Amino acid sequence: MKTVNTISEARDEIAGWKEAGHSVGFVPTMGFLHEGHLELIRHAASENRRTAVSIFVNPTQFGPNEDFESYPRDLERDLELAKEAGADLVFAPAASEMYRGTPAVTMKAAARTDVLCGESRPGHFDGVVTVLTKLFHILQPDRAYFGKKDAQQVAVVKGLTDEFFFPLEIVPVETVRESDGLAKSSRNVFLTEDERMQAPKIYKALQAGQRNYEDGFHAESAKTEILRHLAEIEGGETDYAEILQYPELVPVTEQSREIIAAAAVKFSGARLIDNIIWTVNKGGN
């Protein structure tokens, strides 16, 4: 595995792969890799001749009161894990390499962003589409892999690549969970012992909402069920709970066939998100 820090080095490496006719899989990350990231890398390595991983804590997707400075970082550990999972190249640029002075052009994510995490994090997805546009151009992947845990991000990125005709496939990968159901996340390390015991109840609340919906009730009833379960989480404050059509992230209608139940809960040192996505059988509500 090769590690590079500059755009020119990354482009040179990718150019060699392309010249050899290799397909390129890409996994964008902000580092502090966990099993969820490694599963994305393994997926990419199994479906492509070469796999590139970016490790870059993107400053433009953090709000003024968010955890950019405290976001966990351990590059040496990340490089070892990425290599073991099957990465061929890690692109780990400095912020000054990716953002060079005042931007000549800015990007704004105009759809799928005013609900869920986007509602309380204005500008977050603008930063996401900006950095991904840069990374897609630098690394020229055939496929890019994203975890379904951040389903809103997947929806926004799919909108980006569709809108601007990026010649790549977005591949969503199932959420990796702990044995008790908690979605794996870099932010889990900030949970206290008691909070760690409470956190799996987020997934259980979403499962209860899905059951409610599939039992013949409606979106509002399922949302109420999720909120009822989330209220039982000790030491956690519910940020949101929603039932929406996916990937459009609009209210559910009679015609909706793909549904997402999503929630976010704030603990003392971490805000955790989770979701479940399912397909409604024909004739369902």
Residues annotated as catalytic are 37
Q: Which helix (H) or strand (E) holds 276?
A: strand 271-279
| Contacts with 25 (C-beta within 8 Å, 6 or more apart), sequence order | 43, 44, 45, 47, 48, 50, 51, 52, 141, 142, 143, 144, 145
In angstroms, the CA 241 to CA 281 distance is 23
35 is in an annotated binding site: yes
63 is in an annotated binding site: no
Specify burial of residue 54 (Cβ count, 10 A radius: 0-12, 13-18, 19+). Answer: buried
Specify burial of residue 27 (Cβ count, 10 A radius: 0-12, 13-18, 19+). Answer: buried
207 is in an annotated binding site: no
34 is in an annotated binding site: yes
Q: Is 87 in a helix, a strand, or coil?
A: coil
In angstroms, the CA 216 to CA 82 distance is 44
In angstroms, the CA 86 to CA 211 distance is 38
229 is in an annotated binding site: no
Instruction: Compute, in degrees rounded to 10, the torsion defined by CA atoms 99, 100, 105, 109.
Output: 10
Cα distances from 183 to residues 88, 171, 178, 186, 243, in angstroms, run 27, 19, 6, 10, 19
Cα distances from 133 to residues 140, 182, 249, 250, in angstroms, run 10, 31, 22, 25
150 is in an annotated binding site: yes
124 is in an annotated binding site: no
Both tokens of 185, joined, read: 């996340």
195 is in an annotated binding site: no
37 is in an annotated binding site: yes
DSSP letter, residue 104 = S
Half-sphere CA count of 269, side-chain side, radius 13 A: 14
43 is in an annotated binding site: no
187 is in an annotated binding site: yes
186 is in an annotated binding site: yes
8 is in an annotated binding site: no
Q: Is 82 in a helix, a strand, or coil?
A: helix
153 is in an annotated binding site: yes
- Please enumerate, by residue number, every residue annotated as part of a binding site for (R)-pantoate: 61, 153
Q: Which residues are annotated as a binding site for beta-alanine?
A: 61
Annotated binding residues for ATP: 30-37, 147-150, 176, 184-187
